[in-house]
Amino acid sequence: MNTFNLKETTALLHSYGFKCDTKKVSHWIIEGNIKSIENGEAFEVLEEEVYRFIEVYRWEGTAFEEGIDDQTKIERLLEKVMDLKKQIVKLQEDKAELEDQLGIMPF
């Protein structure tokens, strides 16, 4: 069972693409988002707690977030579908523009 200090926890979160500093990580710890063991004035965070936080944070704001009701899940899924449809239209426009620039005739 590995434990990390504040700097090590921040570095691990950076390795997973989190844009945070030790102040932000400290804030998450104080808020209880990342559970820690107090060791005097320092924080010790269990390795599995960092991974738990990463997993929870990964799904936050999506239809797969823990603890949300079915109505919220449906709304978020419908929102995602609309976003994807917009992306498809944009990609089709980009494709047509590139084909035009290259002189490629559509099939």
Same domain for 71 and 48: no
Q: For position 42, what pLDDT does the model report?
A: 84
Q: For position 98, what pLDDT does the model report?
A: 94
pTM of the model: 0.64
Q: How many domains does the chain have?
A: 2
Same domain for 69 and 28: no
Q: What domain range is 83 assigned to?
A: 64-107
Q: For position 69, what pLDDT does the model report?
A: 95
Q: Which residues of the chain have pLDDT under 70?
A: 106-107
Same domain for 81 and 50: no
What is the helix (H) or strand (E) element at residue 46, kind and residue range? strand 42-46
What is the helix (H) or strand (E) element at residue 7, kind and residue range? helix 6-15
Q: Which value, to the nearest 10 degrees, does the dihedral of the CA atoms of residues 94, 89, 77, 56 take?
A: 10
Same domain for 41 and 3: yes
Same domain for 87 and 74: yes
Q: For position 4, what pLDDT does the model report?
A: 94
5 dihedral zone (left: phi>0; alpha: psi -120 to 50; beta): beta
Same domain for 84 and 55: no
